[in-house]
Structure 1
Amino acid sequence: MARFLKKMDTRAGRPPGALVFVGRQKIDTPRLRVIEYDADMARDDFVQHPGQLAGRTRPDTVLWCNVDGVHDAGLMETLGGLFGIPALVLEDIMNTGQRPKLEEFPGIVFVSIKMPSLSQDRSAVTTDQLSAVLSDGCLLTFQERPGMVFEPVRERLKGQTGRLRRYGPDYLLYALLDCVFEGYLKTIEALGERIEELDDEIFEDPTPELLQEITHYRREMAYIRKAVRPAREIALRMARVENGLVGEGIQPFLRDLADMAEMTADAVEVYRELLNDHQNSYNMAVGNRLNDIMKFLTIFSTVFIPLSFLAGVYGMNFDVMPELHVEYAYFVLLGVMVAVAGGMLVYFRWRRWL
């Protein structure tokens, strides 16, 4: 399946809000994990059926429900009914090719963003979609598959200290987005180490394989850029949510998140420009090598032009020609040819053509 755009054949002709999964299924059975916490306690468990979530939210606690696997339309419909999630939001959650965005609805804030990860050889980037629904006292997150990205947040919730347990679900959403942007920076840093190494290799040995590697990293950076640009808009818009679900107390943290998003976008642009410079340097190195080869062949051919003339003249089949019967004419001719070739090379050296 194409990485830049998901196939939408399954949604063709369906009405808005139809719960149709778009993408590649990455987990067999969806899994629900619920963390309920306040300043004094934190309870973490797995839920077998979404009906068990009914009545779990209390005014004095924060409920974080994480769903791994977004392909089950029945599960999505049930969760939408329990938490008042509009059908259009559920449709976006099940579309794993959804562009990162932030939208406000009555009583909820919806966020969709891409989470990057590296392949085993650390040369290719893949992304999973994270969808989050923020409401009063509750945060629902939807992932395509289980992962370790948010384990640091869960560990902080288990601890007795720290501001995470004292703040509401808006701060929890900030903490999760902070993990996502840290993942972007780590991914870009890992790719950037190899990208910077290419600079020396270009001038040492500009092989076709090196050009393929440059093209590969240009494609990977374009893929990251496709996710980072709208993700930066999310960080900037979080501070301007107007329905009261994002409190004034976390505004400094949101500004820090926006700074991280800007730094991420800047890093992507820097490496894109560096890769463009690498390709230009590669073309220049190959062109210089070709020029050196052509210069050598040109000088080689130029030196042999007068020698070919002399050999051609004395190779003509005439009976009457001067020097044909001179005893040492052959050696004299070879000496003249060596002198002509040597004189031309000295002249080329004097003119700095060599």
Structure 2
Amino acid sequence: MIEETKKYLHLILPFFNTKRTKEIFRINPTVIPAREEAADVAIYVYDYDQSEMKEYELEKVTDAFNCRDNNKISWINIDGIRKSDVEAICKHFGVHMLLMEDILSVGQRPKMDEIDNILFCLMNMLYFNDHNGAVESEQISIVLGKNFVISFQDDKNRDVFDQVRDKLRIPNSKLRQSGADYLCYAMIDLVVDHYYLVMEKLGERIEQLEEEIIRYGNSRSLARINNLRKELIVLKRNMAPVRDMINGFLRSESDLLQDRTTKYFKDVYDHIVQASDLVENYRDMMMTLQDLYMNKVNLRLNEVMKVMAIVTCLLAPAAVIGGIFGMNFEVIPLTHQREGFYVAVALMFIIPIWMIRVFKKRGWF
């Protein structure tokens, strides 16, 4: 009995589950959310130039201070955010206090700032959770200075920068032969390219939903439409501001950005514009699927009403004949004759059969 109850609860929960809606719309920019201190912090440093590259893990953030003036390009990747670590490294590398507050913030809108010869960008890496069909985001902050890049991540167990690490290990790669601005571009480009993987997953869910609605649309289909629309809201909210962020790099006149690197940011800009257009197409498709579902429901209702109307029409002659012969008059033709019953029953069958032929001839069913 308990198992049966759980089974039916699992079927109806999607209609009443508003937890995801609260997660999406709970962000209030006027309230500073409290960030939990990371239990474990992993600090990885990649020092490289055209001739060599060294990578190592540090135990504490102060060990990365010597990366500022080592005549090499340094990428300091900090997985797990603690306020004391962020304050210490920002103070040493000359990162403004306002930028430090953005790094420590939660739920920030993707943006780009330029303060005191430091370029800063904040964006979200997106992942698709196949288990619950939800789009998950992780805030990442990138600080670009002279010959160094500092990245801050919340989760140390996943990111999209493995391709950057692999290219750094190749001696003659474009990444090794370029400056810190190209490293910053490569990181942003990977985050934007990963958006397409998330959209591909959502696209597969939308295609499955479309086939489900066409074949046997039911109430669960409507719930899935609603859930996918919420995930598209998350996708658009995290992707749309990235266009302005990339545009900030294109308009910047900072000496940290070389002219030859600007064209690469233009390529990222084209990618994010295309991704935003694709999200809009997905939203239009969801509206179309909702209309398709409603049309199918109305069509099914019309079919049921048509069948019921035909049955009612076919039973009407029998009801009329039975009503006539059931009247309390003494003189009714065939009432007191043996053939009267058979004639009445025959009419009750012949007239509906004739009506069916007329209905088919007119194409009513």
Same topology, TM > 0.5: yes
Tell me the CA shift for residue 263 of structure 1: 1.7
1:224 pairs with 2:235: yes
1:100 pairs with 2:121: no
Task: Give the Cα–Cα distance (whole angstroms) in 1 for the partners of residues 99 and 262 of structure 2.
Answer: 25
| Higher percent of residues as helix | 2
1:285-336 CA-to-partner distances (Å, cap 9, x unmatched) read 1111111111111111122223212111212344443322111111100111
Aligned pair partner of 1:133 in 138, 143, 150: 143
CA contact (8 A) 2:48 2:74 kept: yes
Q: Secondary structure at the match of 2:67?
A: coil
Task: Give the Cα–Cα distance (whole angstroms) in 1 for the partners of residues 88 and 321 of structure 2.
Answer: 96
Q: Which residue of 1 aligns with 2:249?
A: 238
TM-score (norm 2): 0.89
Q: Which residue of 2 aligns with 1:16?
A: none
TM-score (norm 1): 0.91
Task: Give the Cα–Cα distance (whole angstroms) in 2 for the partners of residues 189 and 220 of structure 1.
Answer: 13
Aligned pair partner of 1:311 in 322, 337, 353: 322
1:342 pairs with 2:363: no
Task: Give the Cα–Cα distance (whole angstroms) in 2 for the partners of residues 271 and 51 of structure 1.
Answer: 46
Q: Secondary structure at the match of 1:239?
A: helix
Instruction: Please give the root-mean-square deviation of Cα atoms over the aligned residues, in Å.
Output: 1.9
Q: Which residue of 2 aligns with 1:159?
A: 170
Q: Secondary structure at the match of 2:364?
A: coil
1:332 pairs with 2:353: no
Aligned pair partner of 1:278 in 289, 303, 307: 289
Q: Which residue of 2 aligns with 1:22?
A: 34
- Identity over aligned pairs, percent: 29
Q: Secondary structure at the match of 1:80?
A: helix
Q: Secondary structure at the match of 1:55?
A: helix
CA gap 1:8/1:103 in 2 versus in 1, 3 angstroms:
closer
Q: Which residue of 2 aligns with 1:269?
A: 280
Unaligned runs of 5+ in 2: 1-21
User: Amino acid of the residue matched to residue 118 of structure 1?
Assistant: F
More displaced 10-residue stretch of structure 1: 61-70 or 236-245:
236-245
Q: Secondary structure at the match of 1:58?
A: coil
Task: Give the Cα–Cα distance (whole angstroms) in 2 for the partners of residues 37 and 84 of structure 1.
Answer: 22
Task: Give the Cα–Cα distance (whole angstroms) in 2 for the partners of residues 217 and 225 of structure 1.
Answer: 12
CA gap 1:48/1:6 in 2 versus in 1, 3 angstroms:
farther
1:111 pairs with 2:111: no
Unaligned runs of 5+ in 1: 12-20
1:74 pairs with 2:84: yes
Aligned pair partner of 2:196 in 185, 200, 222: 185
1:11-37 CA-to-partner distances (Å, cap 9, x unmatched) read 3xxxxxxxxx63566x41222211111
Tell me the CA shift for residue 223 of structure 1: 0.8
Task: Give the Cα–Cα distance (whole angstroms) in 1 for the partners of residues 128 and 362 of structure 2.
Answer: 55
1:291 pairs with 2:309: no
CA contact (8 A) 1:59 1:137 kept: no
User: Amino acid of the residue matched to residue 253 of structure 1?
Assistant: Y
CA contact (8 A) 1:57 1:137 kept: yes
Tell me the CA shift for residue 153 of structure 1: 0.5
Task: Give the Cα–Cα distance (whole angstroms) in 2 for the partners of residues 195 and 155 of structure 1.
Answer: 34
1:170 pairs with 2:171: no
Task: Give the Cα–Cα distance (whole angstroms) in 1 for the partners of residues 61 and 35 of structure 2.
Answer: 23
Task: Give the Cα–Cα distance (whole angstroms) in 1 for the partners of residues 43 and 28 of structure 2.
Answer: 27
CA contact (8 A) 1:62 1:137 kept: yes
1:38 pairs with 2:26: no
Task: Give the Cα–Cα distance (whole angstroms) in 2 for the partners of residues 222 and 243 of structure 1.
Answer: 34
Task: Give the Cα–Cα distance (whole angstroms) in 2 for the partners of residues 334 and 272 of structure 1.
Answer: 60
Q: Secondary structure at the match of 2:143?
A: strand
Task: Give the Cα–Cα distance (whole angstroms) in 2 for the partners of residues 9 and 265 of structure 1.
Answer: 27
Task: Give the Cα–Cα distance (whole angstroms) in 2 for the partners of residues 156 and 122 of structure 1.
Answer: 33
1:44-68 CA-to-partner distances (Å, cap 9, x unmatched) read 1122222222232236311111111
Q: Which residue of 2 aligns with 1:2?
A: 23
* Aligned ranges 1:195-206 → 2 under 5 Å: 195-206=206-217
CA contact (8 A) 1:114 1:227 kept: yes
CA contact (8 A) 1:102 1:109 kept: yes
